[in-house]
A = this chain, B = another copy of it.
């Protein structure tokens, strides 16, 4: 069997998602670390693996996979148990829509490269960067909190009583929020789901501060 190697960075939300999925599915893996603040994702050896220069990249089954959500869908298709998506198409669409709310509507606007860009391009100081971050979280967390709180498909987790792709995307966003002093009291359902996830070793062990490259 070929090795499974995750190229990541402790603080990358996208790498955090893949770590959770690998843990939930009990897939053994090694990690290689690419320090984003030092620009190590631009090193020639890594660009050969992923020309986009983004983490994570996962070496698995002799393939090099990129984009966290594409990687997780691949894991789901090749290692179906435990399932990260429900069986019914409407349930799958609900889980994916929740996952994308976190990973498409918030994260791409708030990730490190964009925060660094608004500093450089618009002279945003630390306070302005934090306001930007909090604005985009609020834009999506308010409706998602409402949806999760009022929709009976919500259970112990975002969808029923087992963790899914939606939770895999929720948890890294909540962890990120902590760095920007976001008052999670406004989001009781999201907070409850976050706590339920972090009770599971698959989530807790994937946390940024548990990684060997954590600072």
Chain B residues within an 8 Å CB radius of A52: 101, 105, 140, 143-144, 147
CB of A173 within 8 Å of the partner chain: no
In whole Å, how far is A106's beta carbon from the nearest beta carbon of chain B? 8
CB distance from A127 to the nearest CB of B (A): 12
Report B-chain residues with C-beta under 8 Å of the C-beta of A144.
52
A90 contacts which chain B residues (CB < 8 A)?
61, 63, 65, 74
Interface size on A, residues (CB 8 A): 46
Bitwise, A92-108 to B at CB < 8 A (1) or not (0) is 11101100110111001
Q: Give the chain B neighbours of A122 by CB distance below 8 A.
A: 118, 121-122, 124
A117 interface hit (Cβ, 8 Å): yes
Partner of A67, one of B65, B66, B100, B114: B100
- Asked if A71 CB lies within 8 Å of chain B CBs, one says yes
* Nearest CB of B to A46, in Å: 12
A214 proximal to B (CB < 8 A): no
Q: Are A92 and B77 in contact (CB under 8 A)?
A: yes
Q: Are A132 and B121 in contact (CB under 8 A)?
A: yes
For residue A124, which residues in chain B have a CB less than 8 angstroms away from its CB?
A: 122
Which residue of chain B lies nearest to A105 when distances are taken between CB atoms in the complex? B108
What residue of chain B has the Cβ atom nearest to residue A88's Cβ? B77
Complexed CA–CA distance, A57 and B117 (Å): 32
Q: Mind listing 30 A-B residue pairs with CB under 8 Å? A: A51-B147, A52-B101, A52-B147, A53-B143, A54-B105, A63-B90, A63-B93, A65-B93, A65-B97, A67-B101, A67-B104, A69-B96, A69-B100, A70-B94, A70-B96, A71-B93, A73-B92, A73-B96, A74-B89, A77-B92, A104-B104, A108-B109, A109-B109, A113-B139, A117-B135, A118-B118, A121-B122, A121-B132, A122-B122, A122-B124
